[in-house]
Amino acid sequence: TVKWGLIGASTIARQFMINAIRAQPNSEITAVMSSSPERAAAYARENGIPFAVSTLDELLGSDIDAVYISTTNELHLEQALAAIRAGKHVLCEKPLALTGADARKMVAAAKAAGIVLGTNHHLRNAGSHRAMREAIAAGRIGKPIAARVFHSVYLPENLQGWRITRPEAGGGVVLDITVHDADTLRFVLDDDPLEVSAFTQAAGMAAGGLEDGAMCIWRFKSGIIAQSHEGFTTKFAGTGFEVHGSEGSLIAKDVMTQKPIGSVLLRTAKGEEELSFDREDLYVRSLRQLHAAIRGEGQPSATGEDGVWSLAAAEAALQSAKSGKSAAIDPKL
């Protein structure tokens, strides 16, 4: 049995991850840590978790094998390093840290300790994105040329907190959503981005110098160019992911989401075909891969290295937006 400790009494754990952990065979959640003892106790009670603590030492000293970190972003680094030191496997939320350099420290520490470190980039687990990756790899669109990602949403009111007010906590849409888009582009295209040019905006929701909208243009190693749009302020935009190749186009709708929904259309000279794909819960699949990695079978669906890549890409996007020039992406792995 893998015994899990939750670091962070968060919304994402409550909405998706507690269920995903409990959906695995031989898996249980034994403890939750919040910085507030009252919140820890209330969260444990509401979610049926036996043990509530308010310090990292108590959590790491308890009978657990793995931790899921879903605190605000500035806390991930120290919490992950402490968990690794204590010999616990780590599934960490994105962005892994506030800088690529800090994320690399996490990867190096996990490697040295022989610990599994996964990044919770859920979209790699979506049947839709896996179907697109497979179609491209099978040559169904010929040579991939360009991609477009539509991932501008409306940040739900219950989440209109640190993401739009606290730069020191790693707020802003780039660290929140651009990291996912960079990772999903890497996964679907099976290619790495080398360079990005970005514009960001504060369109009325974010404060404190944070951005609540971004448009990025990416250049990949193979020559593919891509554009991505991330936002917190658009109520009616819908999401999508398109890849256009020499012999066909993949047009996915409603797929930049936490749910196993949406559609993927393949359009070629032969006409149009809806691709079928599995509708498994994204987070349940992510946890299954992580459990397998803990058993020594394969890798997490997104590794620590993947988390370094997505954060290096987001960091470069922020740098580009600030400087007005394109920025190179170098994960230094």
Q: Interface with ligand NDP by CB under 6 A: which residues?
A: 8-12, 34-36, 39, 70-73, 93-94, 120, 122, 159, 161, 176, 258
Nearest approach in angstroms of CB 205 to ligand NDP is 15
Output 93 or 191, the one with its CB closest to ligand NDP: 93
Output 71 or 200, the one with its CB closest to ligand NDP: 71
Only one residue has tokens 């491209």, namely: 136
Partnered with residue 303 across adjacent β-strands are 118
Output 22 or 166, the one with its CB closest to ligand NDP: 166
Output 54 or 268, the one with its CB closest to ligand NDP: 54
Nearest approach in angstroms of CB 310 to ligand NDP is 11
Nearest approach in angstroms of CB 94 to ligand NDP is 6
DSSP labels for 126-173? Answer: -HHHHHHHHHHHTTTTSSEEEEEEEEE-B--GGG-SHHHH-GGGT-SH
Nearest approach in angstroms of CB 294 to ligand NDP is 19
Residue type, 43: Y
Nearest approach in angstroms of CB 3 to ligand NDP is 19
Q: Which two tokens stand for residue 204?
A: 């009325």
Query: 3-state SS of 33-91?
Result: ECCCHHHHHHHHHHHCCCEEECCHHHHHCCCCCEEEECCCHHHHHHHHHHHHHCCCEEE
Output 220 or 232, the one with its CB closest to ligand NDP: 232
Residue type, 322: K
Q: How far is CA 152 from CA 105, 133, 231, in A?
A: 31, 22, 4
| CB 187, CB 180: distance < 8 Å | no
Nearest approach in angstroms of CB 104 to ligand NDP is 18
Output 61 or 223, the one with its CB closest to ligand NDP: 61
Tally helices (H) and strands (E) across the chain: 12, 15
